[in-house]
Amino acid sequence: MATDSANEVLAAWETSSQYWNKHQALIEKMFASLSRALIENARIGSGQSVLDVGGGSGEPSLTIAPIVGESGSVTYTDPAGGMVKAARDEAERRGLTNIRFHQCPAAQLPFSDNSFDAAVSRLAVMFFPDVVAGQREMLRVVKPGGYVSLVVWAAREVNPFFSVVTEVLDRFVPADAEDEDAPGAFRFAAPGKLAKALQEAGAIDVIERELAFMIEAPITVERFWELRTEMSDTFRSKLKRLVPDQVAAIRYTVQKAVGSYFKTGGMSFPAKVLVVTGKSLTV
Ligand SMILES: C[S@@+](CC[C@H](N)C(=O)[O-])C[C@H]1O[C@@H](n2cnc3c(N)ncnc32)[C@H](O)[C@@H]1O
């Protein structure tokens, strides 16, 4: 991937960090099952030393810290300074003292070989400019036989949390042709694609499983609109190109289109991810 476009991806995350900070509590609630899946798949328990790559506004680091306890530790990493600040501030608010914070990309982890019992990454590997290089680094810093576990979105069509808004937006601002290998939420939606990349990076015993879950939160359709349009760089930049009347029309159409996911007094979207787990080679 060209350096220019890698820098663009990072700049977009830097801008997004203020919104991920703003919606931190909601994001934690909506995707809690994904942190649980990583903890289970990477066999994380008390006393372990765990690496989180692309931790964003703090997950799964903030959930893992109380599990590993004071005899263990979590090392949070993310290349976007705004994300690191958001996560660090939240850890301080919670009085968590066993998390260290580092601003760095996956492909340049500033840690010695065999430093961690396990490494995890939630919804971030699809944004690495060089996925195999990033995963190779994760495997390098995990002790022989330790687990590396990653979670990515399954197909857009089975994730209405994304697709319903995208379909409406595309009607107003036609989407550019998509490069399925470019950084983006659905880059690893094809079954087997991330597992193959993890194997190529040197992992053994690679397993992929599909996880169906519900994205739920006690929020209104209006709050959903705010959340979706602020969290996504694509939506923010598309909406910026439109006049207020067009934005109002899109907002109205989206709110109608998602109505069936707000029937129980809150938001409830079915969703699917892939959890891909492998082991660092035993020497
Ligand atoms: C969708 S967010 C996920 C954040 C968090 N893990 C979560 O699940 O809430 C993607 C994160 O990947 C990070 N990221 C982007 N490029 C990266 C890279 N090269 N290495 C590591 N993380 C990266 C972004 O800064 C962002 O925080």
Which atom of ligand 1 lies closest to the CA of 60?
A: 6
Check pocket membership of 58 for ligand 1, CB cut-off 6 A: no
**pTM, to two decimals:** 0.95
User: How crowded is residue 66: how many other Cβ atoms within 10 Å of its Cβ?
Assistant: 14
What one-letter code names the amino acid at 20? Answer: W
Check pocket membership of 208 for ligand 1, CB cut-off 6 A: no
Q: Indicate the burial class of 189 (C-beta count within 10 angstroms; 0-12, 13-18, 19 or more).
A: buried
Provide the pairing of β-strand 49-53 with 73-78.
parallel
**Cα 54 to middle of ligand 1, angstroms:** 4
Peptide bond into 60 cis (omega under 30): yes
pLDDT for residue 203: 98
The residue with tokens 């903890």 is 39
* Tens digit of pLDDT at every position of the chain (283 positions): 566 778 888 999 999 999 999 999 999 999 999 999 999 999 999 999 999 999 999 999 999 999 999 999 999 999 999 999 999 999 999 999 999 999 999 999 999 999 999 999 999 999 999 999 999 999 999 999 999 999 999 999 999 999 999 999 888 888 777 788 899 999 999 999 999 999 999 999 999 999 999 999 999 999 999 999 999 888 888 888 889 999 999 999 999 999 999 987 899 999 999 999 999 987 6
What DSSP character marks residue 101? E
Considering the domain 3-156+184-216+269-279, what is its CATH architecture? 3-Layer(aba) Sandwich (3.40)
Helical segments of the chain, H only = 3-22, 24-30, 32-41, 61-68, 81-93, 131-141, 160-172, 193-200, 221-231, 233-240, 244-257
**Cα 269 to middle of ligand 1, angstroms:** 22
**Cα 41 to middle of ligand 1, angstroms:** 20
- Written as six digits, the tokens of 74 are 């979590």
Is the CB of residue 51 less than 8 Å from the CB of residue 57? no
pLDDT for residue 241: 87
- To test the ligand 1 pocket, which listed residue (1, 3, 13) has its Cβ within 8 A of the most ligand atoms? 13
Non-local CB neighbours of 207 within 8 Å, separated by 6+ positions: 195, 276, 277, 278
**Cα 123 to middle of ligand 1, angstroms:** 7
Check pocket membership of 128 for ligand 1, CB cut-off 6 A: yes
- Sequence ranges of the domains in the chain: 3-156+184-216+269-279
pLDDT for residue 176: 78
Check pocket membership of 162 for ligand 1, CB cut-off 6 A: no
Is the CB of residue 49 less than 8 Å from the CB of residue 75? yes
Nearest-CA neighbor of 38 among 61, 21, 20? 61
pLDDT for residue 283: 65
Check pocket membership of 137 for ligand 1, CB cut-off 6 A: no
The residue with tokens 């263990």 is 72
pLDDT for residue 240: 87
Instruction: State the Cα–Cα distance between residues 91 and 99, nearest whole angstrom.
Output: 8
pLDDT for residue 2: 60
Query: Which residue minimizes the CA distance to atom 15 of ligand 1?
Result: 127
Compute CA 85 distance to the chain's CA centroid, rounded to the nearest angstrom.
Answer: 17
Query: How many Cα neighbours within 13 Å face the side chain of 107?
Result: 9
SS3 (DSSP) at 276: strand
- Written as six digits, the tokens of 99 are 């998390």
Check pocket membership of 55 for ligand 1, CB cut-off 6 A: yes
- Written as six digits, the tokens of 250 are 């899109």
Is the CB of residue 239 less than 8 Å from the CB of residue 229? yes
Nearest-CA neighbor of 52 among 113, 123, 114, 112? 123
Instruction: State the Cα–Cα distance between residues 235 and 244, nearest whole angstrom.
Output: 15
Compute CA 11 distance to the chain's CA centroid, rounded to the nearest angstrom.
Answer: 16
**Cα 162 to middle of ligand 1, angstroms:** 18
